[in-house]
Each structure stands twice: as structure tokens, then as C-alpha cells.
Amino acid sequence: MTEAGQTPLPLVVLISGSGSNLQAIIDACANGQVNAEIKAVISNKADAFGLKRAQRANIPTHVLDHSLFGNRQSFDRALKKLIDGYQPGLLVLAGFMRILTAEFVNHYLGRMLNIHPSLLPNFQGLNTHQRAIESGVKQHGVSVHFVTPELDGGPVVNRAIIDVDSSDTTESLGKRVLAEEHKIYPEAVSWFANGRLQLNGNQAMLDGEPVPALEKYANET
């Protein structure tokens, strides 16, 4: 629940696709689970369904098409300018499928979160569910982490662990993971909004305690 009288934290959310995590955060802001207000949703893809979700919730939307920029740096600079017009306290990456420059990441260091569908540091990058199945791991899941210049390498702030069944397919596993994403992302945003979560060097701190990291699996592919 939000603390009475506390100003909602301004958020900007970046998406590229369906926006189901965006929806979970919209809902959590609306029902008071998260003391934050989404000021804008920005997509690099004009056809991202998440834009419709934002419009339905009366949140301003922008499309910044990366293909219209000559290089990564010029896109990131335009993106930064657009974001900073909203003065967010937290930048939320929710299925934003772009690699960001170090200059951009460092500008938002300690105030930018991402969600990645694996138990980091395992399975950084793409096709995480398929790789988890192929590796034969017994547990898989999803991680929310602070974004640092190392891709999918920032300190984890929240995670959900699920058991992998021998009958699991990429789809069945992905579905169970996604259901967990919709719980742990709003939870992490609420911690940040309530001042409980910080980045300290390369360590996430929750309520003043370090969030433990996991070991990397030996057999990860």
C-alpha cells in the first residue's frame, strides 16, 4: 500500500512489444500497490501493442523509431532528451529490445530497472526459455535488475524461481515465467518508489541489506 501523503514517483516506461509488464505496472499504480505515476510510455516500434495499453490508461505515448537514426548514439541521445522532458525518478525497461549505449546507461545509473526472463547471471541475452530447457536445468525464472553498462549484467533486485518440468516446452515455461514477471516487477518498482531499494556500487540494497546474487550454472549454454 502507498504511504499516505507521499508524492507518487514519476516513471517513464520503455517498451518494444506487447507491454504485458507495462500493464502490470499500470494496474499496480492504479490500485495503490505502487506509489508511482507513469508520465509517458515510449516505444521504438510504432506497432507495439503496449502503446494501446498506455493510451487506454490515458498515459502520453511516443514512438521513437530507431531505424530513422544513423547510429546507436544518436538514437540514445534523442531518447534521453525525450525521457528527461518528463523528469522521471525511475526509468523502467519493460520488454525494450534495444542495446543501450554506456553514455545512456550511466546517465540513468541507479534509477533504471530492467526485467529479464532468466535467473541472472544465467542465460543473459535472447531465447532464455529454450536455452534453459536445452541445458536441462531444474530451475528457471525471471530477474529484475538495475541496468549497468554490461548487458543483462546489472545487480539483481528481485527474482522469482520456478521449477522446470520434464514436459515443459518453451511456450509452457515462458507462460509460467511471464505470470511471475507481472508480480515481481510491480513489487520492485514499489520498493524503489518507497525508497527501500538503492544501487550501491555494483550491489543492489533492499532495506539496507544486500540482495544476494545467484551462482552461475556450470552447464549453461
Residue positions annotated with a catalytic role? 116
Residue 161: CB minimum distance to ligand GRF, A = 15
Closer residue to ligand GRF (CB): 76 or 152: 152
Binding site for ligand GRF (CB under 6 A): 15, 17-22, 50, 94-95, 115-117, 178, 181
Q: What is the spatial distance between Cα 50 and Cα 22, in angstroms, rounded to a whole number? A: 7
Residue 139: CB minimum distance to ligand GRF, A = 17
Nearest to 96 by CA among 19, 176, 15, 37: 15
Residue 93: CB minimum distance to ligand GRF, A = 7
Closer residue to ligand GRF (CB): 20 or 190: 20
User: Which residue of the chain is nearest ligand GRF when measured via CB?
Assistant: 95
Closer residue to ligand GRF (CB): 2 or 124: 124
Query: HEC profile for the chain?
Result: CCCCCCCCEEEEEEECCCCHHHHHHHHHHHCCCCCEEEEEEEECCCCCHHHHHHHHCCCCEEECCHHHCCCHHHHHHHHHHHHHCCCCCEEEECCCCCCCCHHHHHHCCCCEEEEECCCCCCCCCCCHHHHHHHHCCCEEEEEEEECCCCCCCCCEEEEEEEECCCCCCHHHHHHHHHHHHHHHHHHHHHHHHCCCEEEECCEEEECCEECCCCCCCCCCC
Closer residue to ligand GRF (CB): 6 or 127: 127
Residue 159: CB minimum distance to ligand GRF, A = 12
